[in-house]
Amino acid sequence: MIEVKNLFHKYSENSDYAVKNVSFEIPKGEIFGFLGPSGAGKSTVQKILIGILKKQKGSIVIDGINSEDLKKDFFEKIGVSFELPNMYSKLSGYENLKYYGGLFKKKTKDPLKLLESVGLLQDKDKKASDYSKGMKQRLIFARSLINDPDILFLDEPLSGLDPSTAKKLKEIIINEKNNGKTIFLTTHNMFVADELCDKVAFINNGEIVAMDTPKNLKIKYGNKSVKIEYHEENKNKEIILFLEKTEDKEKIKKIMDTKEILTIHSGEATLEEIFIQITGRGLS
């Protein structure tokens, strides 16, 4: 569905490349996550893919069509949710969706049903300028769905949302995937990436430094651990041991044989821990 090869981009002639030799493929019906901190190049790549930024160097093929040959009907097929909400502030939430839906040739979704799906139906007549940050984020997300797009570009779609609302939007994203939609998701939230994405790419300083399924990345880079809580000398104690280490295996056996075990939990490295291991920096 999306093929990107050797993509480069710089914002001025004398600046360093903001995106350096980026290559990836996204099959139809998968969620692909770009995982990295602010300023890593995530949004730049998305802006190039949707045509906001002109491609400078590299190859982009979307749905079998080279990016240079994409016509206006390309925008009938995509939906975009930006990190910074952009809307008509003097219009209500309903009016924003109604107006945006009128820009498409194809039949669009019912704005009221979209507002209901993101928990904004009761605020449909409120001016967008009076929406909170989280409400604006939900409105932009709903707007990205109005044309029933084949490809969704979501830039930090859950940023600033409370857990209950974020769960609701994650369910919508998964449902879109199950309906065959291809989703390009940029985020610095490793929990979101782990939960939603079929494949993730770690991007740091404009370069992809690792790319695979979340599970495979954990297997490759993560150390399998066991956290044991036990009782000894009238105290509850806790220890974390790693299964790859021979000495830790011996410690586990000794504790199991000689101590009063309270709890045992297996663990694996998180995507953020793996990102730090590879790049030496965090995601926040």
In this predicted structure, the answer to whether residue 40 has a pLDDT above a threshold of 70 is yes
Rounded alpha-carbon distances, angstroms, from residue 123 to 99, 110, 135, 138, 192: 17, 16, 9, 12, 27
pLDDT digits (tens, 9 = 90+) for 190-211: 889 999 999 999 999 999 999 9
In this predicted structure, the answer to whether residue 11 has a pLDDT above a threshold of 70 is yes
What is the model's pLDDT at position 283? 66
DSSP lists the bridge partners of residue 227 as 240, 265
Tell me the C-alpha distance between 47 and 55, whole Å.
9
pTM for this predicted structure: 0.84
Least confident of 3-7, 158-162, 218-222: 218-222
The 3-state secondary structure of 208-244 reads EEEEECHHHHHHHHCCCEEEEEEEECCEEEEEEEECC
pLDDT digits (tens, 9 = 90+) for 46-91: 999 998 899 999 999 998 888 887 888 889 999 999 888 789 999 9
Higher pLDDT, 221 or 209: 209
The 3-state secondary structure of the chain reads CEEEEEEEECCCCCCCCCEEEEEEEECCCCEEEEECCCCCCHHHHHHHHCCCCCCCEEEEEECCEEHHHCCCCHHHHEEEECCCCCCCCCCEHHHHHHHHHCCCCCCCCCHHHHHHHCCCHHHCCCEHHHCCHHHHHHHHHHHHHCCCCCEEEEECCCCCCCHHHHHHHHHHHHHHHHCCCEEEEEECCHHHHHHHCCEEEEEECCEEEEEECHHHHHHHHCCCEEEEEEEECCEEEEEEEECCCHHHHHHHHHHHHHCEEEEEEEECCCHHHHHHHHHCCCCC
What is the model's pLDDT at position 206? 93
What is the model's pLDDT at position 284? 63
Tell me the C-alpha distance between 51 and 70, whole Å.
10
* Tally of CB atoms within 10 A around 123: 19
